[in-house]
Structure 1
Amino acid sequence: MEHIRDKMESMRTLLKEKETELNDLDQLNTTIFAKEHIVNDELQEARRELIV
C-alpha cells in the first residue's frame, strides 16, 4: 500500500511540474505571437516607404 502512495505522490509532483512547464510555454507562445505582430507591422511600414 505504501508503494501505491509513493507512486501517486510521484505522479502528482510530475503533474505539477508539467502544468508549470505548460503555463510557461503558453506565456512564451503569447509573447512570441505579440512580437511577431509588431515585427510584421514594422515590415509592412518599411515596404510602404520603399514603394513610395
Structure 2
Amino acid sequence: MSRLSVKDRMARSIARRKGEVVLRADFKAMGSPSQISRAIKALIEAGKIVRLGYGI
C-alpha cells in the first residue's frame, strides 16, 4: 500500500469537510510548513481550491 502525499491527504481532507473555508492551521499535522505551502500551491494551480485572500 503506497502512502499518500501531503497534497493528496490535504485534497482528501478538504473533500470530506462540510464547510467551504480551510486554513493553513487545519493541515499543520500533515507536514512541514514548506510541504503545506507547496501542496496548497499545487491544489490552487489544479483548480481544486481558490485562494480568497492572504492572512486572517
Same fold (TM over 0.5): no
TM-score (norm 1): 0.31
TM-score with structure 2 length normalisation?
0.29
* Structure with bigger RCO (C-alpha 8 Å, 6+ apart): 2
